[in-house]
Amino acid sequence: MKLLVTGGAGYIGSHMVRTLGEKGHDIVVYDNLSSGHRESLLYGRLVVADLADRETLRILLQEENFDAVIHFAAFIAVEESVKDPVKYYRNNFSNALNLIEACVRHGVDKFIFSSTAAVYGMPEKMPVTEGIPLLPINPYGSSKMMTELALRDIAQVTGLRYVALRYFNVAGADPQTRIGQRYKEATHLITLALRTALGLRESLNIFGTDYATPDGTCIRDYIHVDDLIDAHLAALGYLAEGGRSQVFNCGYGKGYSVREVVDMAKRVTGIDFPVKETGRRAGDPPALIADSSRIRKDLGWQPSHDELEFIIQSAWDWEKKRLALNL
């Protein structure tokens, strides 16, 4: 297939490009390199451009006959979105709309969208099924929800079919350590824990110990990046076979508390790194666990790395390499 991957130089996008390249697909990556890296691309041709640039998008989609678009490019930090909502609505919604519009204009009829469990907000019942009301509690979640709604409405009246994948907590890295997270200013728990173990940070903060959870810290459903990539491949196959537009949760259906993640990070690294208990972080729901029965049933998706230890080990191998090579 001929595929356009936006955000392909980023963390998850680069894993997608790796797998698509290994399978022999023809890939164009569209990335403004605001957080992505050229060196993370193991395959494909890179177009360095912004999704706000509608003219570049128009020319690209007019000239190349893409079979599908896989849209990763977005900002991802919940706390930053609370402080700077415009930045999130602009990039995650308005720029996504530019891309969707260009797809419709130029006859690209298959679209895979990186959505998030943050669209659910603070659901009362766990695990979360796709059908519950979307009540995001931060601009990050709202901006992703708005793009989902735009896709839904546009698909109703055009030939566009889409799959929105609602990611839970994506972590881990390429098991061969070729690529991984390269954010200098990481915000995610597992990455920060491992960088603390490496001595790159003084201590790890635990954001809130007074949540209504068994140990008082937030619970999340961590999924290995390669299982998430398999979900995208399954979604691509589904759309190629004529599947109708659909939304799927991507998680394992198992939750771990922040303390449990910290304990596992200490075990995997063998380092008892310093941890501080601090106040809550703005915009954090107490628990998010996926009900993944829909994706298992409809797409036949089955995870291969459904173990917190494996996730953290692969992230640890990558973080050590990143430090050694000063990446």
Of the candidates 13, 86, 108, 97, the one whose C-alpha atom is nearest the C-alpha of residue 54 is 97
Query: Shortest Cβ contact with ligand UDP: which residue?
Result: 218
Size of interface with ligand UDP, in residues (CB under 6 A): 15
Work out which of 111, 207, 238, 301 binds ligand UDP, going by CB under 6 A: 207
**Is the Cβ of residue 197 or residue 218 nearer to ligand UDP in the bound state?**
218
Work out which of 6, 169, 246, 269 binds ligand UDP, going by CB under 6 A: 169
Determine the residue type at 122: M
Min separation Cβ 246 and ligand UDP, Å: 23
Helix (H, G, I), strand (E, B) or coil at 246: strand
222 is a catalytic site residue: no
Min separation Cβ 155 and ligand UDP, Å: 27
**Is the Cβ of residue 48 or residue 200 nearer to ligand UDP in the bound state?**
200
Contact between 92 and ligand UDP per CB under 6 A: no
Contact between 192 and ligand UDP per CB under 6 A: yes
Distance, in Å, from the CA atom of 218 to the CA atom of 119, rounded to the nearest integer, reads 17
Number of helices and strands (H, E) in the chain? 11, 14
Min separation Cβ 7 and ligand UDP, Å: 17
Work out which of 51, 70, 78, 164 binds ligand UDP, going by CB under 6 A: 78
Q: Which residues contact 143 (CB under 8 A, 6 or more apart)?
A: 74, 81, 88, 89, 91, 92, 93
Binding to ligand UDP in span 135-164, by CB under 6 A: none
- Per CB under 6 A, the segment of 21-29, 188-196, 225-233, 317-325 that binds ligand UDP is 188-196
Min separation Cβ 138 and ligand UDP, Å: 9
Min separation Cβ 213 and ligand UDP, Å: 10
**Is the Cβ of residue 117 or residue 179 nearer to ligand UDP in the bound state?**
117
Ranges of beta strands (E only) in 186-258 are 204-207, 219-220, 222-224, 246-250, 256-257
Contact between 166 and ligand UDP per CB under 6 A: no
**What crossing angle do the helices spanning 308-324 and 189-197 adopt, rounded to 10°?**
50
The region, left, alpha or beta by phi > 0 then psi within -120 to 50, assigned to residue 119 is alpha
Residue with tokens 């706390």: 79
Check if the beta carbon of residue 103 is closer than 8 Å to that of residue 159.
no
**Is the Cβ of residue 101 or residue 260 nearer to ligand UDP in the bound state?**
260
Distance, in Å, from the CA atom of 325 to the CA atom of 327, rounded to the nearest integer, reads 5
Work out which of 102, 104, 128, 258 binds ligand UDP, going by CB under 6 A: 258
Residue with tokens 């998008």: 57
Contact between 174 and ligand UDP per CB under 6 A: no
The two tokens of residue 25 are: 């697909």
The active-site residue, picked from 140, 211, 252, 256, is 140
Binding to ligand UDP in span 221-250, by CB under 6 A: none
DSSP state of 290: B
The two tokens of residue 291 are: 């009900």
Contact between 305 and ligand UDP per CB under 6 A: no
Kindly list the distances between the CA atom of residue 297 and the CA atoms of 163, 167, 248, 304, in Å, as whole numbers in the listed order. Answer: 15, 17, 11, 16
Instruction: Give the interface with ligand UDP as residue ranges (CB under 6 A).
Output: 78, 169, 187-189, 192, 204-207, 218, 220, 258, 281, 284
Q: Kindly list the catalytic residues.
A: 140
